[in-house]
Amino acid sequence: MTQLILEDQHGETTMVNMGPQHPSTHGVINLRLLLQGEVIAKIDPIVGFLHRSIEKLGEMTPYPGFLPYTDRVDYLSAMFGNQVYCMAVEELLGVEVPRRAEYLRVIACELNRIISHLIAVGTMAMDLGAFTPFLHAIRERETVNDFMERICGARINYSYMRIGGVPRDLEPGLDKDILKFLDRFEKFIPEFNRLITGNEIFVRRLIDLAVIPAADAISCGLSGPNLRSSGVDYDLRRDRPYSAYPEFEFRVVTGEGYRGQTGDCYARYWVRIDEMLESAKIVRQALLGLPEGDVKAKVPRKITPPKGEVYSAVESSRGEMGCYLVSDGGEQPLRVRFRTGSFTAMTVLPKIVPGLMVADLTAFFGSLDVVAPEIDR
């Protein structure tokens, strides 16, 4: 039994449970709202409904066997969970990943970012009542899901990467198909923009709403598109370089507030739209410059990293996904901890939400692009 922790101290107020079963909470999250009329006076987010104790499972599973669990940390961008875990183990082992494998990882991750952002912008429009954009986004996502199936055999929970590289090379002809898709996708974004991004009703609904100042965004540990839309120019791919990212040219998209202000809901939406195009650029560069060579380094069958700790971080679709891995020299990690973008994004709610209308909370929450399993892990 959870206690009612909101106190009635604002005169005439109403306590409302938004969720745990609510279409706009993107999963099982309970937002306890204290309302004064239509205005939210206080919010208390209750999470943990999807806690699957992945971190405890990690301590009970041998290193290679834990990989499929990392898909389930964030099911919409499973590649990043794979990558951050593999990077942590590789760093402890001192394994150098072949360059071709790094390129293949980048291709897989950036395709994953595209489809994850497609879901993000599609569901955000759906939260506001526009259903059609979601279907357009899902249509493009299906094509990439097919590519993912051809890359690794799975459409959602990839388990693509291995400690030391990737298990197999691209099948012949796949690179041409992906390039053909990218040509189409770069035309799809303007089409999508005509459909919804530039729609005046949609824009007016989002501009100047729930502005997160840069100082708050940094203090609350926001990361990824949420941090950049507040005007903070920070991207782990560029500023804490990993994998093959230093070899590619891409622009770090920050919220400029060309409609409305920097850090409002529209900026968060726009950063994701723009990032998809940058990801497409990276995939194209990686495919055209794919080096020859092995796709997997030689690693022992039984993986026992030496004693030590490491914090690896990747720029996931939802911000910084970090893995704090501690090894005691055994076959299983002593501690494996996932730091996720959704978890930290939730901490900004009590700061920003009070003063918003109930209907605006849906827009704001959609713009944060939070995935519930990633909060709870």
Partner 1 sequence: MSDVKRMHETLSRALPDIPLEVESAQAGMSWIHVPAEHIAAVIGHLRHTEGFDYLACLTGIDTGEELQIAYTLRSLPDKTECALKISLPRDEAVVPTISHLYGVADWFEREVFDLYGVHFDGHPDLRRIMMPDDWEGHPLRKDYVFPSEYHGISAERPDPHDLLDPEYEACAVDPAPKSDSKEGSTS
Q: Between residues 268 and 339, which has the closer beta carbon with respect to partner 1?
A: 339
Interface with partner 1 includes 309 (CB under 8 A)?
yes
Please give the Cα distance from 71 to 200 (Å, whole number): 38
Please give the Cα distance from 64 to 58 (Å, whole number): 10
Q: Between residues 286 and 321, which has the closer beta carbon with respect to partner 1?
A: 321
Contact present, 306 and 331 (Cβ < 8 Å): no
225-227-232 Cα angle (round to 5)? 115
Instruction: Give the distance from CA 324 to its chain's centroid.
Output: 18
**Binding residues for partner 1, total number by CB under 8 A:** 51
Q: Give the x/- contact pattern for partner 1 in 225-244, rule: CB under 8 A.
A: -------x-x----xx----
Interface with partner 1 includes 331 (CB under 8 A)?
no
Whether the link from the prior residue into 20 is cis, omega within 30° of 0, is: yes
Please give the Cα distance from 188 to 75 (Å, whole number): 25
Show Cβ contacts of residue 79 under 8 Å, excluding neighbours closer than 6 positions. Answer: 105, 108, 109, 112, 158, 160, 161
Which of 146, 176, 219, 293 forms a contact with partner 1 (CB under 8 A)?
Answer: 219
Quick count: other Cβ atoms within 10 Å of Cβ 207?
16
- Binding segment toward partner 1, per CB under 8 A, in 21-29, 163-171, 264-272, 321-329: 321-329
What are the φ/ψ torsions at residue 76 (nearest 5 degrees)?
-85, -20
Amino acid residing at 139: R
In the complex, least distance from residue 242 CB atom to partner 1, rounded to whole angstroms: 13
- Please give the DSSP secondary-structure letter assigned to residue 315: E
Please give the Cα distance from 335 to 212 (Å, whole number): 34
Contact present, 261 and 361 (Cβ < 8 Å): no
Interface with partner 1 includes 310 (CB under 8 A)?
yes
Q: Between residues 3 and 200, which has the closer beta carbon with respect to partner 1?
A: 3
Q: Between residues 75 and 311, which has the closer beta carbon with respect to partner 1?
A: 311
Interface with partner 1 includes 91 (CB under 8 A)?
yes
Show Cβ contacts of residue 257 under 8 Å, excluding neighbours closer than 6 positions. Answer: 231, 263, 264, 267
Which of 218, 277, 290, 299 forms a contact with partner 1 (CB under 8 A)?
Answer: 218
Which of 75, 221, 294, 331 forms a contact with partner 1 (CB under 8 A)?
Answer: 221
Interface with partner 1 includes 324 (CB under 8 A)?
yes
Interface with partner 1 includes 288 (CB under 8 A)?
no
Which pair of tokens denotes residue 115?
């489809």
Which pair of tokens denotes residue 143?
């094509």
- Binding segment toward partner 1, per CB under 8 A, in 71-79, 142-150, 243-251, 308-316: 308-316
Please give the Cα distance from 179 to 111 (Å, whole number): 11
Q: Give the x/- contact pattern for partner 1 in 161-200, rule: CB under 8 A.
A: ----------------------------------------
In the complex, least distance from residue 337 CB atom to partner 1, rounded to whole angstroms: 4
Quick count: other Cβ atoms within 10 Å of Cβ 343?
18
Interface with partner 1 includes 2 (CB under 8 A)?
yes
Which of 23, 330, 347, 355 forms a contact with partner 1 (CB under 8 A)?
Answer: 347
- Please give the DSSP secondary-structure letter assigned to residue 64: G
Which residues from 26-55 bind partner 1, rule CB under 8 A? 47-48, 51, 53, 55
- Please give the DSSP secondary-structure letter assigned to residue 290: P
Which of 20, 213, 308, 354 forms a contact with partner 1 (CB under 8 A)?
Answer: 308
Q: Between residues 119 and 325, which has the closer beta carbon with respect to partner 1?
A: 325
Q: Under the rule (CB under 8 A), what is the footprint of partner 1?
A: 1-3, 5, 47-48, 51, 53, 55-56, 59, 91-94, 216, 218-221, 232, 234, 239-240, 305-311, 313, 320, 322, 324-329, 334-335, 337, 339, 343-344, 346-348, 351, 376
